[in-house]
Amino acid sequence: MTWDELEQLPEQIAEQIELWDGRVVWVRRGPAEHQTFTYRMTAAFERCTRKAMQEQPTTCLRTTLETNVFLGKTGKSDFLTPDFLVHRCLESPYQDLRASDTVLVGEVLSPSNTQSDMEAKKGRYASAGIPWYWEVTLARRESAIATIRAYALESKHGELPDGVHPLRPANYLVAGEWTHDDEQGVQFDFPFRIDIPWTDLQY
């Protein structure tokens, strides 16, 4: 499918589709908790980006949710729609958002999300060169966040045995992990100062 064909579909159908190299992938909407915690994470990151811009006036960042990120430098046949993201300010409104503009993407994982699907998605973000990937795992038996992980894009591959080559050109490594046992909440210094108390993320 092409982007032009996708735009011809009714909006309620088109918004459930991602294109993976022109192949249609249906994105199932999660339960109410998924939407709630996506909103909570987006609001928390927006507060952090605003503070970062106050401290560094030359920096311009925007936080948003459920926005298409086109993975190639051109074309629209390959895109993902992260649950929340931070990107550099664009030159004009309504401009296509590319992976090269994107600083951080995040996904909220409901119990119904499969590990294989999320690993495939994570691999595509990494291959596109997005520096940071955040993963929010929801608790199975209550309306709460179980774990938050921050992944950094590795800048070079580690040493592998002779004849062994990485499956993908880039990969993420876990750089931070938080649960409710961390009473201070989520505190991290990259790609800007992130300070999110658990009270901001409650249902």
Beta strands in 131-190 (DSSP E): 132-138, 145-153, 172-178, 186-188
pLDDT digits (tens, 9 = 90+) for 9-63: 777 777 777 777 777 776 766 788 999 999 999 999 999 999 999 999 999 999 9
How distant, in Å, are the alpha carbons of 41, 150, 180, 192, 196 from that of 189? Answer: 17, 11, 19, 5, 12
Interval 123-135: pLDDT, tens = 999 999 999 999 9
In the numeric block, which tokens belong to residue 184? 């201070």
* Residue 8 DSSP one-character state: T
pLDDT digits (tens, 9 = 90+) for 149-189: 999 999 777 788 988 888 777 899 999 999 999 999 999 99
pTM for this prediction: 0.89
Contacts of 87 (CB under 8 A, 6+ apart): 61, 62, 64, 97, 101, 102, 103
Specify the pLDDT at position 26. 66
Scan for tokens 């664009």, then name that residue.
90
Task: Please state the length of the chain.
Answer: 203
